[in-house]
Amino acid sequence: MTVIDISPSVMQFLLAFIVVAPLLGAVAALLPAPPGLKGKGPDQAVLRHGVTVTGAVLIAAIVLAVGFDHDHPATMQATTDISWIPALDVRIHLGIDGISLPLLLLTALLTFLCALHSYFKPPAGPSPKAFTALVLVLESGTLATFAVLDLLLFFLAFEMVLIPMYFLIARWGGDQRRAAAWKFILYTLLGSVVMLLGLLLIGLRSGTFDMVALATDNGRGLTTSVQLIAVLAIGVGLAVKTPMWPLHSWLPDAHTAAPTVGSVLLAGVLLKMGTYGFVRILLPIAPDGMRTFAPYLAAFAVVGIVYGSLACLALARRGAKGDLKRLIAYSSVGHMGFVLLGIATMTPTGVNGALFANIAHGLITGLLFFLVGAVKDRYGTADLDTLAGATGAALYGRAPRLGALLAFAAVASLGLPGLAGFWGEMLTLFGAYSPAEGLSRPAFRTFMAIGAFGTLLTAAYMLIVVRRVCMGEHTPHSQLSPAAPADAPEPSGTDPSGAGPSATTAPRPATPQPAATTPQLADIQTYEAAAWTPLAALTVLAGLWPAVLLGLTDPAVQKLLAGGKS
């Protein structure tokens, strides 16, 4: 069933346009703006250009989804297959199925929202021209990663995003941005070198780099030892990008230093490239090697779940001087642990849960980073102790809509039933309860129990964050009497020595303001509502109607795990 019947040639064009248009837009962004399009200035013109290009890509992605044959989501659609390097049988092979289409849409949506946000709140830093061009190159590389069906093209697209993200962090980031950018690029490049060796091993031993042909062969053309080496090599590169514990240490620094737009794209899109590689390449192409390493992958995943949650709890406690952006970065380590656990089960239930959790994490964490960026802009800091102690009422009293949306995103992140975060975690735990044949059930049920404990830890630190940032620190009765009116005759300068009537009650601290007189912050602006509302709405829709997404992924996953057979 297709919503609108679109010819195959138009579908091919749409997919090629989605991949290539941002790259062409990046080149155009560096050229002088035509006189009639400059608006108030060249900076505004180039930022508007970014909105236009990403908007066109998003529209093309939506039309592609509308024309997608939803009755056959396991079939590669909108395919283009052109010989590129005949000597190595490398082909420009593009196509989408039920696994890659949701990720394509997520990437196009988040990049457009980031461009829209940047137009109304330009990034603080060097030329907006370079910023816009880098965001567009980043979008092109990410979309290509989810659309290509050739191993070497996958590697090129996978690497294409590294340089733009490095410069976004190093040039437009905050404190310690250069060190964070270097850490990001070194970790990911070293992982990619190892991954390339594994991809070359598969291609040269099997005689083809075509991912569809390799998935259909289902590892029959590769010996077990080759599969083991390939899974180890490719898995390390993918695990760094995911990131999997203990290869995660670049992520908190990168998120803390990155600008808001960089954090949204890094968490919402780039982390998905690693887990997508596990599903698209390792599960179907090297199943025997994956079966051997699956218990170890699951073990690392659940350690990451618990470790990320404990790190967040440590950052959230009073007096820890924890950075809110850093806390959400550590929460991503835990959430991506659930994705890896689902993949490690090698079952349709677990892999579908992993793919669902991927999309949910992109929506929810993208929204969280937008919100934390807004809070940081208003307060001038993301330090939790400062945010919690700034006022007795905190966000609920100073910017109630912003506080309510932050609380919504937090409870969505902890997996509240009825919101997107719930289904992915639940399905991965179900998959771990009954893993694929040949995997140890006692081991995976132990992993399931540890993962379930991790959900409790997630709820704990998210609720602490909501209480501290949205409600503010608890003010002891000895410091602030609830009966005292706002204009009580006890002004702070009445008796500096403290030897007045107030000295009989308690030593007076730095006179906290009652909520009634708390100075207001700017609440959600129109452009912020435009950038955040789609993410909040999709979080609710995915939570209430998970069958829409699972109906796309499940047939494709079933075919993938069955060795290319529907």
Residue 445: its pLDDT value, please? 93
d(CA 475, CA 273): 45
pTM for this predicted structure: 0.87
Residue 506: its pLDDT value, please? 43
Residues of the chain under the 50 pLDDT cut: 476-517, 566
Find the Cα–Cα–Cα–Cα dihedral 171, 172, 176, 180, rounded to 10°.
Answer: -70
Strand partners, 324: none
Residue 107: its pLDDT value, please? 94
Residue 398's nearest CA partner among 526, 529, 528, 519 is 519
Residue 376: its pLDDT value, please? 86
Residue 85: its pLDDT value, please? 81
Residue 483: its pLDDT value, please? 39
Residue 208: its pLDDT value, please? 85
Q: How far apart are the first and last CA of the chain?
A: 17
d(CA 40, CA 48): 11
Strand partners, 92: 82
Q: Which amino acid is at 429?
A: L
Provide the 3-class DSSP secondary structure of residue 320.
Answer: coil
Helix (H) or strand (E) holding 272: helix 271-277
Instruction: Compute CA 321 distance to the chain's CA centroid, rounded to the nearest angstrom.
Output: 24
Find the Cα–Cα–Cα–Cα dihedral 146, 149, 151, 155, rounded to 10°.
Answer: -30
| Residue whose pair of structure tokens reads 């816009």 in the numeric block | 132
* Residue-by-residue DSSP string for 417-429: TTSHHHHHHHHHH
Residue 261's nearest CA partner among 87, 402, 120 is 120
| Residue whose pair of structure tokens reads 């180039």 in the numeric block | 46
ω into residue 86 within 30 of 0, thus cis?
no
- Please, what is the angle between helix 348-379 and helix 526-544, to 10°? 160
Q: Which amino acid is at 360?
A: A
- Please, what is the angle between helix 224-241 and helix 177-206, to 10°? 160
